[in-house]
A and B are shown apart, each in its own frame.
Chain A
Amino acid sequence: MVQVYASSVIDASADNVWTRIRDFNGLPLWHPAIADSRIENSQPADRIGCVRHFHLRDGGAIRERLLALSDYDYSCSYEILESPMGVERYVATLKLTPVTDGGRCFAEWSAEFECAPGREQELSETIGGGVFQGGFDALKRHFGGR
């Protein structure tokens, strides 16, 4: 099992950041690597079990199922159903925690998955550095943060 973890501090309240990232169908609105997204079978994007089908800017198509969504914990978990990345049993969680001194929040994005031997490092870097940190960087550009 490979584990990837990235975290950051965003200069906006957890409420504000959550409003931007809560929509399971909203990745193209805030994440620079995502080109488009739709929810399969016309389900609402906050129904647990719904599937989002999206394309990366480099063309790859990914299907992910929403496993958990908590407006109380500011957290969202999902699994990959299909992707060109070559990962198995991929489960990820994106979570915000308020920082009480200053209107900031602490953002964490973590994933666990299995993959072919020898690809662990490359996939960790793509997912942790590209997808997760890329998302944080976009949020920091939008809200501020260092």
Chain B
Amino acid sequence: MLQRVVRSTVIDAPIERVWAVLRDFNSHDRWHPAVEASHIEGGERGDQVGCVRSFTLKDGNHIREQLLTLSDRDHRSTYCIVEATVPLQRYVATITLKPVTDGQRTFWHWESTFATPPGREAELRDMVAQGVYETGFDALRRHLRQGEDLRPAGSAPMPTALPLPTRRVVLHRYGGAEELRAEDAQAAAPREGEVRIRQRAIGVNFIDVYLRRGWIPQMLPLAPEQPGVPGMEAAGTVLDAGPGAGGLLPGDRVAYLGPVPGAYCTVRSVPSDWVVRLPPAVDDEVAAALFLKGLTADYLLRDLGRVGPGTRLLVHAAAGGVGLLLCAWAKHLGATVLGTVSSEAKARLAREHGCDQVIVTRDYRFADAVQRACGGADVVVDGLGVAAREENLAALARCGHWISLGQASGPLPPIEPDALLAKSLSFSRPVVFDYVASPAVLAQRAQRVWAALADGAIRVPPIERYSLDAAAQAHERLESRERTGALVLVA
């Protein structure tokens, strides 16, 4: 008697993403844990109807299966066993995907019919249903979550992509905000491991100002024929992807952060390792306002500052983009949060975001107030630089940690080790890129930022928007000390 097995599930991913994996007849050794190794015989491609995949299972069995039907229209694949060391006879299986239109989900139906030797029906039905189909459902879920390559080697390459027009903001020489000029240019096609992104929102950060001033020339070298483009982060939509682009597909909404400047433009190709997909609840402008700043807050609080219940945290520029996130998140973690700001209006905003005690000072005097309020800070997050140097040392508690994040008032001169000796202080000079150096870590941190936003641990800071062509005004605004919250260029 012919046996029939049907299993189905719902996958939390759009049908294009699930189909991108399942349509490749040779992809199963990359996502199904029961499959040890697989190849398509005769060097044919995994979407060639009639091709035969030859594979070994982890348990040592060997199976050859032939692709009978492949339909991109119906999202359906039918295949049969032509030879196997397991006693499945006349085995024909069909995978069908259907979109769940109310939500970006996919219904996945997997069924087969086969005959077995007498007495082994139940055993083999269970093996197919649980060992192959149900295990496969969970494994593909994990595979998609990890963002592994959905368009593996050997499958159809994307059509050769052409350069696309882009509008970008360039710097021909270091200097003031007026050196930023908008111009038309070409965005190269994505190379291997890259995606090309139509950017909608670009985050403006202090590092962009430092690059423009020429403080980090090795990061943004300028040559007569090679102007520099600032900008470390943006959000938008994937236009196209090169081979091996980390499973990203055209149409994906994404944000990225990378150690090579160039984000001040409308279209850009970047390594997929820099890129994360955005949850539906996070729009492009929020992503651009929060990505670098949120990831920064995450590593500062979690890794470097080890901020938890009772930690006394001092945040300079507490009403700035990173400052507001640090206040809210640290408060949520149970810390006592102190902040410095330069005006009463900023003090109100910082308080609204969870800052327990706000010190209003325009001349970088805060150490006495910090010592009086809490007996010294365990952690100082300092974006001020040279002008606050002595006050920071004085504001720290015993064994305190001075984290120098930026230098808005000017670069810090070298610090004598003995300056730290008096209170066993430590000094860190971190940069965010080292804390998101692998795609897995980047994805993990991004996940924590979106989760913190969703559960109210952090709030979207006030966003000031400028057009890409007005990048110079955005920089002037960032440097003015009048501003609060985050600056975003919209493109």
B-binding residues in A (CB < 8 A): 5-9, 97-101, 104, 106, 108, 128, 133, 136-137, 146
Contact = CB atoms under 8 A, between A and B. Distances in A.
Interface stretch (B1-9, B56-64, B201-209): B1-9
B385 interface: no
Contact of B8 (A5, A8, A101): A101
Contacts of A104: 10
Nearest to A8: B102
A93 to B, nearest CB: 13
Interface of B: 6-10, 98-103, 105, 107, 109, 134, 137
Contacts of A101: 7-9, 134, 137
Contacts of A8: 100-103
Contacts of A100: 6-9
Nearest to B109: A97
20 contacts: A6-B101, A6-B102, A8-B102, A9-B10, A9-B100, A9-B103, A9-B105, A97-B8, A98-B8, A99-B8, A99-B9, A101-B7, A101-B8, A101-B134, A101-B137, A106-B8, A106-B98, A106-B100, A106-B107, A136-B102
A104 to B, nearest CB: 7
A136 B9 CA distance: 19
A9 B8 contact: no
A128 B99 CA distance: 14
Given A9-B103, A128-B101, A137-B102, 18 more contacts: A6-B101, A7-B98, A7-B99, A8-B101, A9-B10, A9-B107, A97-B109, A98-B8, A99-B8, A100-B6, A100-B7, A101-B8, A101-B9, A101-B137, A106-B10, A106-B98, A133-B101, A133-B102
A114 B179 CA distance: 59
A99 B101 contact: no
A133 B8 CA distance: 22
Contacts of B98: 7, 106, 108
A104 B103 CA distance: 16
Contact of A99 (B10, B99, B103, B134): B10
A7 B100 contact: yes
A146 B100 CA distance: 11
Contacts of B7: 100-101
Nearest to B96: A97
Nearest to A106: B107
